[in-house]
Structure 1
Amino acid sequence: MTAFDDLTRLIPPPPQPLWANGDWDEVETALGMELPSDFKQMVGAYGAYHFAEFLTPLTPFGGRDLLVGPAKRLLDQERNFRDSNPDACPYPLYPEPGGLLPWAGTDNGDRVCWLTGGQPDEWTVVCWNPRGWYSDAHPVAAVEFLVGWLSGHISTSVFPDAAEFTEED
């Protein structure tokens, strides 16, 4: 059983996912790196799905490029803060070697990133609040992180647990 199988059991994919399909070779060429296979599989099945009505994968397809364009602007957007506060910034940023590359975003403006060192399917997930520059790392792949967060087995100090969004009044 894979993490993707667990995800589809936990939340069945929508019948017509929004912004789910496109040319991964083109995306990876634009980024200058291969992306994890579980992320590509998730985007193909869910597209820009709004998990727990809070967390959305940054699909590179469809009406808005949520992945490549923002990734290419990340270093420039955060450079001044990082240069002024090096102790608050423990990770390099894409396109720096091994840099953080966002793969999902939250309604609070938090980012769920990969730490891009090593082989793509072995990248660590880092949850990051760019407003306060705090983060925590989870040594799991993207879909495994998502399943863990949705099921309550993984928590992050950066944003609330999924259960807080799905509890009924």
Structure 2
Amino acid sequence: MSSVEQLRNLLGLPPGVIDARDFGSVETSLGVELPPEVKGVCSLYGDVLISDFLFVFGARFMTEKNLWLSELVRDGHPVIPKAVLPDVNGMLHWGHSMEGDKFFLENRGDGNWTVSAFRRNWADWYESDETLIDWLVGVFTGRVAKDWMPEWPTAHWFEGDA
């Protein structure tokens, strides 16, 4: 079973999901080619809130949120230590939690993008060696980030435009 299928099995699909949304304008605006797994996850779960806690950006909000956060970091955010796209060598801001955590993907080279986060309640920086899909599967199964993620329900629900 692929990682995407495993994620779908864990979460289900949001009502009205439209697979393969166009991320061309996002890539142009941010000046980067997004990894296929990012487009896959953000097409399925983008622009919806998962189980009242985790919001994943899709094509609708990703550019706007990256532009806003890149400016905030340039102005001197006290904990986010690296640039955010569209700034050169910036991280991709791909989502947030309802508690104010900010989720990123850092390009580690050779097409390897791994999850990092600003953990608001801890006021610190978190880095993992996991790709987006593997990290999300780990979060929803309780394998990773269990010290700062909620206890997940057995059945997930979604809010927002799919």
Q: Please report the TM-score for the alignment, with normalisation by the length of structure 2.
A: 0.79
- Show the counterpart of 1:151: 141
SS of 1:50's equivalent in the other structure is strand
Write the distance in 2 (CA, Å) between the matches of 1:70 and 1:129. Answer: 17
Q: Within 5 Å, which residues of 2 pair with 1:11-160?
A: 11-17=11-17, 22-61=21-60, 66-82=61-77, 88-120=79-111, 122-129=112-119, 133-155=123-145, 160=148
Distance 1:45 1:7, change over 3 A: same
Write the distance in 2 (CA, Å) between the matches of 1:14 and 1:73. Answer: 27
Distance 1:112 1:4, change over 3 A: same
SS of 2:103's equivalent in the other structure is strand
C-alpha displacement at 1:132, in angstroms?
A: 6.8
C-alpha displacement at 1:27, in angstroms?
A: 1.7
- Show the counterpart of 1:4: 4
C-alpha displacement at 1:31, in angstroms?
A: 1.1
Write the distance in 2 (CA, Å) between the matches of 1:56 and 1:49. Answer: 6
RMSD of aligned alpha carbons? 2.6
**Alignment length, in residue pairs?**
154
C-alpha displacement at 1:60, in angstroms?
A: 1.9
C-alpha displacement at 1:156, in angstroms?
A: 6.2
Write the distance in 2 (CA, Å) between the matches of 1:92 and 1:47. Answer: 23
Write the distance in 2 (CA, Å) between the matches of 1:32 and 1:97. Answer: 9
Distance 1:72 1:47, change over 3 A: closer
Write the distance in 2 (CA, Å) between the matches of 1:129 and 1:110. Answer: 5
**1:161 equivalent among 130, 149, 158:** 149
Distance 1:111 1:25, change over 3 A: same
For each residue in 1:61-99, what CA deviation from the matched residue of structure 2 results, as whole angstroms up to 9, or x when unmatched? 3xxxx21012123232122335xx5xx553233333332
Structure 1 moving runs of 4+ over 6 Å: none
> Unaligned stretches of 5+ in structure 2?
155-162
Q: Please report the TM-score for the alignment, with normalisation by the length of structure 1.
A: 0.76
Write the distance in 2 (CA, Å) between the matches of 1:126 and 1:27. Answer: 20
Write the distance in 2 (CA, Å) between the matches of 1:130 and 1:119. Answer: 30
SS of 1:143's equivalent in the other structure is helix
Bigger relative CO (Cα 8 Å, ≥ 6 apart): 2
The structure with the largest helix share of the pair is: 1
Distance 1:47 1:41, change over 3 A: same
C-alpha displacement at 1:117, in angstroms?
A: 4.1
State the percentage of identical aligned residues.
Answer: 23
